C-alpha cells in the first residue's frame, strides 16, 4: 500500500520589520488514488461518513479525479 499519513511541525520565524514566530503541528494524508477502495482497512472511507472520508462529490465535473490530476 502506497497511501500513508504524515505528522510534522510547521515553523515560521521573521525578524523584520517586527520579530514574529509560530510553531504548530500539521497532519497530512498521501492517498494513492488507485487504493481508495482498499483504504477502509486502515480507517479511511470512500463516500461514507467516517472520521476520515473521501467523497467523490467533492470533485465534480464528471471526470474521475485521477484523470484530472495527472
The pTM (predicted TM-score) of the whole model is: 0.56
Helix (H) or strand (E) holding 66: helix 65-69
The pLDDT of residue 25 is 97
How far is the first Cα of the chain from the last one, in angstroms, to the nearest whole number?
20
Q: Looking up cell 498521501, which residue turns up?
A: 30
pLDDT tens, position by position, 12-33: 999 999 999 999 999 988 888 8
Residue ranges of domains in the chain: 4-69
Angstrom distance (rounded) from CA 40 to CA 50:
10
Q: Looking up cell 492517498, which residue turns up?
A: 31
Residue 8, SS3 per DSSP: strand
Amino acid at each position: 500500500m502506497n497511501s500513508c499519513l504524515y505528522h510534522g511541525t510547521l515553523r515560521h520565524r521573521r525578524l523584520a520589520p517586527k520579530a514574529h514566530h509560530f510553531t504548530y503541528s500539521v497532519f497530512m494524508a498521501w492517498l494513492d488514488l488507485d487504493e481508495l477502495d482498499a483504504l477502509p482497512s486502515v480507517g479511511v472511507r470512500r463516500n461514507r461518513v467516517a472520521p476520515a472520508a473521501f467523497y467523490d462529490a467533492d470533485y465534480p465535473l464528471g471526470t474521475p479525479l485521477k484523470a484530472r490530476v495527472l
